Structure 1
Amino acid sequence: MPVVVEDIMKLLCSVSEQRKMKAAVKHSGKGALVTGAVAFVGGLVGGPPGLAIGGAVGGLLGAWMASGEFQSVPRILMELPAEEQQKLFLEASAIVRNLDWTDAVQLTALVMGSEALQQQLLAMLAAYVTKELRAEVRYGD
């Protein structure tokens, strides 16, 4: 049976959902921009002391913005563009290629019955999210 991208994406969502996998995409560029802008305005308004205060306040705002908000990985996966889903599909297919399955439900059941396959898929997903999305990965609540 031909392997379907949608089936693999459902599998990845199930595996990452079971482990409560979350990711936070960091916005370091925006944080740096805010830090500089607030420091600049502080310098214009208050001179050297305003620059120092603006830099401190801007730094705190920038750090807060760069920290990112954690979202569930299944949600992130389903919102990926088709070409990114295709990349994940190819990597995951290599891991499950030796399994004999007919649909997403059966594939998911086979993988959930194997801790080794789950670990391989989770490691692949974590690497993808960290490298391609430049996000921080967290497990659990």
Structure 2
Amino acid sequence: MPVRINDVMALLCHISEQQQMKVAIKQSSKGALMVGAAAFLGGLLGGPPGIAIGGAVGGLFGAWMTSGQFKPLPQIIMEMPMVQQQKLCDQVFAILRSLAWTDATQLILLVTGNAALQQKVTAALINYVTQELRAEIQYGD
């Protein structure tokens, strides 16, 4: 059976939407940089207590900077270039190799009906997002 990338992408979008996964690709590093810079500046100005105060202020500012910068993972998946989608599809298809499906709906039902299989697919998706896209994943609202 030929691999149908659209079916696998629909499955990944469904799983990530179901788990309310959101992704921040570049913004999370800016927030971390802000915390470090504020702690350093606080240490220069106020010594050890300044490090704590600077870290706290930097953390609040970093959180404010990155708030709202998370995008839903299904949106990220569908916006990826075809080369990245194919690479992700290949990794997930290695897990789905033994399944036979006729369309995306059937594939989604097969995977979501099997907790162990869904967990493996989810783990492959998370691994791809964190390793290949170097992104941070957030769950829920």
Q: TM-score range by the shorter chain?
A: 0.7 to 0.9
Q: Following TM superposition, by how much is the alpha carbon of 1:26 offset from its aligned partner in structure 2, in angstroms?
A: 2.7
CA contact (8 A) 2:31 2:59 kept: no
Question: Does residue 69 of structure 1 match 2:83?
Answer: no
CA contact (8 A) 1:26 1:68 kept: no
Q: Following TM superposition, by how much is the alpha carbon of 1:78 offset from its aligned partner in structure 2, in angstroms?
A: 0.3
| Other-structure match for 1:39 | none
Question: Does residue 24 of structure 1 match 2:49?
Answer: no
Question: Take 1:4 and 1:126, find their aligned partners in 2: how far apart are those partners?
Answer: 21
CA contact (8 A) 2:25 2:133 kept: yes
Q: Runs of 5+ in structure 2 lacking a partner?
A: 38-44, 46-53
| Other-structure match for 1:89 | 89
Cα distance 1:140–1:65, how it changes in 2: closer, same or farther (>3 A)?
closer
Q: Runs of 5+ in structure 1 lacking a partner?
A: 37-48, 50-55
Number of residues of Structure 1 aligned to a counterpart in Structure 2: 126
Structure 1 segments, 4+ long, off by >2 Å, are: 26-32, 59-68
| Other-structure match for 1:126 | 126
| Other-structure match for 1:80 | 80
| Other-structure match for 2:42 | none
CA contact (8 A) 1:22 1:137 kept: yes
Q: Following TM superposition, by how much is the alpha carbon of 1:75 offset from its aligned partner in structure 2, in angstroms?
A: 0.7
TM-score, scaled relative to structure 2: 0.72
Question: Take 1:11 and 1:71, find their aligned partners in 2: how far apart are those partners?
Answer: 18
Structure 2 letter corresponding to 1:107: L
Structure 1 letter corresponding to 2:72: S
| Other-structure match for 2:110 | 110
Alignment of 1:4-19 (within 5 A): 4-19=4-19
